[in-house]
Amino acid sequence: MGEQGKRKQIMEAAIRLFAEEGFEAASMQDIATAAGVAKGTMYLYFPSKEDLITQVYRYCYRMDVEACNAGLDEEGTALDKLCRRLDNIMDFTLSHPLESRIERLYGSRPGSMRRPGDCLEELYEDIEAVVEEGIGRGELKNLPADLLAQTYYGIATAMYLFFQAEPELWQSEDVRSRCRQVIRDSLSA
């Protein structure tokens, strides 16, 4: 197995153990054992546990960003893009529960940033860009873009948390449609 294969093997084991046990409880030895490598090998790829945690978070976060932006260019209006983004968020969260848990755990660590714009800056900037586009076209309420982006983010976050506890409800097209309508009713001009 090449270097990239071993690194990936370690990352996958770390994702699983961090998601199941938390960052503090999962030791480097536990991760090495789960990855099938010697503990010393871990340090060839990750100089410290903190570096491993950061790299695992960045990997999961990158997956999330890519999933959230998938297909947005295919949508014609800002509202359609925001609704597609909601679908993407929920589909990613429910199909990648370990990676989603890593993001939540990382965001709740002591000293982590608390505001959505700080914690998930790239995702938030992407939302704000769609909102600004929609305001400019007269599709969205004529309010400050950051207020509408925060409103969308708040609604999407509430749904994200709810459907993690009740994932089977997201499978209903009727429920999905009504969730999209909440977005439309909240932001539409």
Domain span at residue 113? 57-187
Residue 84 and residue 165 share a domain: yes
Beta bridge partners, 140, equal 188
Please give the pLDDT value at position 115: 35
Residue 2 and residue 22 share a domain: yes
Residue 79 and residue 152 share a domain: yes
Residue 62 and residue 40 share a domain: no
Beta bridge partners, 188, equal 140
Please give the pLDDT value at position 175: 96
In angstroms, the Cα distances linking 123 to 3, 119, 166, 171, 172 are 31, 9, 24, 24, 26
Please give the pLDDT value at position 108: 79
Q: CB burial class (10 A; 0-12, 13-18, 19+) of residue 39?
A: middle
Per-residue pLDDT tens digits of the chain, which is 189 residues long: 677 789 999 999 999 999 999 999 999 999 999 999 999 999 999 999 999 999 999 999 889 889 999 999 999 999 999 999 999 999 999 999 999 999 889 877 776 544 333 446 777 788 999 999 999 999 999 999 999 999 999 999 899 889 988 999 999 999 999 999 999 999 999
Give the orientation angle of helix 173-187 with respect to helix 145-165, to 10 degrees: 160
> How many domains does the chain contain in total?
2
Residue 164 and residue 74 share a domain: yes
Residue 52 belongs to some domain of the structure? no
Integer Cα distance of 16 and 35 in angstroms:
10
Strand, helix or coil for residue 94: helix
Residue 40 and residue 76 share a domain: no
Residue 166 and residue 138 share a domain: yes
Integer Cα distance of 28 and 49 in angstroms:
7
Unique residue bearing structure tokens 């709740």: 108
Residue 131 and residue 63 share a domain: yes
Integer Cα distance of 18 and 98 in angstroms:
9
Please give the pLDDT value at position 165: 86
Residue 62 and residue 43 share a domain: no
Residue 170 and residue 95 share a domain: yes
